[in-house]
Amino acid sequence: MALPERILMGPGPSTVPDRVRRAMAAPTLGHLDPRFVELLDETSSMLRELFRTSNELTFPVSATGMGGMECVVANLLEPGDQALVCINGLFGGRMADMMERYGVTVHRLEKPWGEVFTVEEIEAEVHRHPKAKVLAIVHAETSTGAHQPLEGVAKMLHEEGMLLLVDVVTSLGGHEVDLDGWYIDAAYSATQKCLSCPPGLAPVSFSPAAVEVMERRKSTVGSWYFDIGMLAKYYQGRSQRAYHHTPPVNSIYGLHEGLRIILEEGIDARIERHAKMHRRLRAGLEEIGLDYLPEQSLHTLNCVLVPKGVDESGVRATMLDTYGVEIGGGLGPLAGKVWRIGLMGHSATQANVDLVLAALVDCLE
């Protein structure tokens, strides 16, 4: 199959290193093969390191990031529950929609796309709805580039008996994510953003408090595929693994290798590399007169305003055809107004930053 080589600098997927692709080409083993089970356990253990957690219930769900969201939502909440959802972009809105489909009453705390929430704003909402079971928030809003601070949020929720659910899809592996340090109860991510593996797996993690809440459920989980009670019998089965579904064995080889690459680089060094590449890109963009969406603060996703009179999608098409570089367009209210330039994992290099800048200069002329 002749497919073009691309440099992926959009909102995901990011470029997959050769080491990961080679790992995925290894022979497929049975999902109960002791060697595969060992490799799966190593994968979950490296995920704990990256999430900075000791949560037992940490593993890769067989689905993309949206499946990770669905797994967390379906298990933590049940029909009749109330939840608070912070919405300042596309993915917060999706969490609210998903919860409502599971029979949850959702209270939406909304801000304009691109802004973040203060602890005081969240606290006021928590006091307005003290019966809510969960507060859900996106750490890295890929639709806008907003970087939501999370320190201090969980403490106030826990005082009210609520759990904190966080989307760390575009932050894990690129920004500091500290599940235990920030007392996060449930989080999900995806392999194709800052982990630089192909799409298809969603790392998730649940705190002991979240596990307790799930054990106290009155109703069965509304999703068969994502039922944690059944999934745990396979992923945490020790020597007794119960078949639930056949996990995508070769994708797990890829994630295992991707996580090894991350730990070899070092989590702190990797986060610093993303910060450095973001500063370089930002300085270069400002030099050519391009502005960021106001308040944008993520390193991994750079949301840049399209100058007046410029053909937004035409520039993206030329970048792809002439330079083989993929960047993203805007979603929802930002459609046609912004470009989204990803600096994720293996894509976040100085060579790529300089290429994207040169290509943009050329396209804008």
Ligand X SMILES: *Cc1c(COP(=O)(O)O)cnc(C)c1O
- Residues 55-74, interacting with ligand X (CB under 6 A): 64-66
**Cis-peptide, bond into residue 112, ω within 30° of zero:** no
Count CA within 13 A, CB hemisphere, residue 364.
14
Minimum CB separation of residue 340 from ligand X in Å reads 10
Q: Of the ranges 38-46, 164-172, 206-214, 281-289, which one interacts with ligand X (CB under 6 A)?
A: 164-172
Residue 237 as a binder of ligand X (CB under 6 A): the answer is no
56: number of Cβ within 10 Å: 15
Residue 167 as a binder of ligand X (CB under 6 A): the answer is yes
Q: Which is nearer to ligand X, 202 or 357 (CB)?
A: 202
Please, is 256 exposed, middle or buried when counting C-beta atoms within 10 Å of its C-beta (0-12, 13-18, 19+)?
Answer: buried
Residue 169 as a binder of ligand X (CB under 6 A): the answer is yes
Q: What track of x and - describes contact with ligand X for positions 70 through 109 (by CB under 6 A)?
A: ---------------------x------------------
- Residues 275-334, interacting with ligand X (CB under 6 A): none
Q: How big is the chain by its Cα radius of gyration, in Å?
A: 20
Q: Which is nearer to ligand X, 43 or 170 (CB)?
A: 170
Residue 190 as a binder of ligand X (CB under 6 A): the answer is yes
Rounded CA separation 357/131 (Å): 50
Tokens representing 179?
A: 């599940």
Considering Cα of 15, then 19, then 20, then 24, what sign does the dihedral take? positive
| Residue number of the CB atom closest to ligand X | 65
Rounded CA separation 269/33 (Å): 35
Rounded CA separation 39/18 (Å): 19
Minimum CB separation of residue 178 from ligand X in Å reads 18
Q: Of the ranges 75-83, 103-111, 137-145, 331-339, which one interacts with ligand X (CB under 6 A)?
A: 137-145
User: Which of 7, 8, 12, 51 touches ligand X (CB under 6 A)?
Assistant: 12
- H or E stretch including 346? none
Q: Which is nearer to ligand X, 43 or 64 (CB)?
A: 64
Please, is 287 exposed, middle or buried when counting C-beta atoms within 10 Å of its C-beta (0-12, 13-18, 19+)?
Answer: exposed
How many helices and strands in the chain, by DSSP H and E? 12, 14
Q: Which is nearer to ligand X, 12 or 330 (CB)?
A: 12
Which stretches of the chain bind ligand X, using CB under 6 A? 12, 64-66, 91, 138, 140, 142, 167, 169-170, 190, 199
